[in-house]
Amino acid sequence: SQPCWSEYLTTRIEQNMVVNCTCPISECRAQPTAAFICSIVSSEEIIAKYEKALLRGYVECCSNLTWCTNPQGCDQILLKDGLGYGAACSKCSWISCFNCNFLEAHYPASCSHMSHMTCAKCNHGFCWRCLKPWRPTHKDYYNCSAMVSKAAWQEKRFQDYNERCTFHHRAREFAVNLRNRVSSISEMPKIRTLTFVLDACKVLEQARKVLAYSCVYSYYNQDTESMDIVEQQTESLELNTNAL
């Protein structure tokens, strides 16, 4: 009966199980169509949840589509460009990474850098997602009792890079907050244009982001020759960013 179907479908939608739901009769594997569901369920709120579930299921099934990963919340759907780098969201301007589950694009650090963690005590490398040993790039594991001095040096090195990375992330948040405050001031009447200040805040935000992920890149980079160039460029960028 219609009341039974309505209660059944409403429950499935509320439990986010409607996309693959079938007829409640155990022998029947038929799936209710969208037209049938909309004709049975009368609540606009429940129908809206159903439509969102359909959209979410479609995006998850398409390898070239993904959701914007802005932690502040954004419902924009992004089209992957196939190059490994995310484009800015047209709605909130957040740049997502298309290759891994990290919240944002993290250039110049690679996706492996963002998932590769190292124990500061014994230098054991592991993936922070699955907690399994890091392979094939990390195969040598150190003995904690025999390598105390090396472990201590590794821990100090990690702390140094981590502190620098954290500082730049906090400085980036400062730039974002400053831009928001200036934006609210510029909207007031009789205030001269502050576009140049807003542009400076945007540049600060981007520069701090690059500097933060440069710390991750430098920590894992083992190429001494290329590191000299990277450190020089990073130092130059940091000096100019601080001046700005």
Q: What is the mean pLDDT of residues 98-113?
A: 75
Taking the C-alpha atoms of residue 161 and residue 167, their distance in angstroms, rounded to an integer, is 10
Please give the structure tokens belonging to residue 4. 């039974």
User: Per mean pLDDT, which range of 42-51, 53-62, 84-93 is the poorest?
Assistant: 84-93
pTM score over 0.75: no
What pLDDT is recorded for position 147? 43
**Could you give phi then psi for residue 135, rounded to 5 degrees?**
-140, 155
pLDDT tens track for 114-163: 766 666 566 666 665 555 666 544 333 333 343 445 666 677 788 888 88
What pLDDT is recorded for position 172? 92
What pLDDT is recorded for position 126? 64
Of 59-68, 74-83, 201-210, where does the model show the most confidence? Answer: 201-210
Other beta carbons within 10 angstroms of residue 201's beta carbon come to 22
Q: What is the mean pLDDT of the chain?
A: 78
Cα 17 to Cα 8, 12, 84, 232, 235: the distances in Å are 11, 5, 32, 54, 52
Residue bearing the bigger pLDDT, 168 or 101: 168
Cα 149 to Cα 116, 168, 200: the distances in Å are 22, 29, 44
pLDDT tens track for 191-238: 667 788 888 999 999 999 999 999 888 888 877 677 778 888 888 899
What pLDDT is recorded for position 208? 93
pLDDT-derived band of residue 171, with 50, 70 and 90 as boundaries? very high
| Residue 187, SS3 per DSSP | coil
Decide: residue 222, CB within 10 A, 0-12 exposed, 13-18 middle, 19+ buried.
exposed
Of 55-64, 104-113, 169-178, where does the model show the most confidence? Answer: 169-178
pLDDT-derived band of residue 187, with 50, 70 and 90 as boundaries? low
In the predicted model, is pLDDT for residue 8 greater than 60?
Answer: yes
Residues 6+ apart with CB under 8 A from 66: 59, 77, 78, 80, 96, 98
Please give the structure tokens belonging to residue 209. 């982001």
Q: Where are the alpha helices (DSSP H) in 78-147?
A: 111-115
| Residue 191, SS3 per DSSP | coil
CA angle 218, 70, 117 (to 5 degrees): 35
**Which of 29-68 are b and which e, b meaning 16 or more Cβ less than 10 Å from the residue's Cβ?**
eeebeeeebeebbeeeebbebbeebeeeeeeeeeeeebeb
- Residue whose token pair is 């589950």: 101
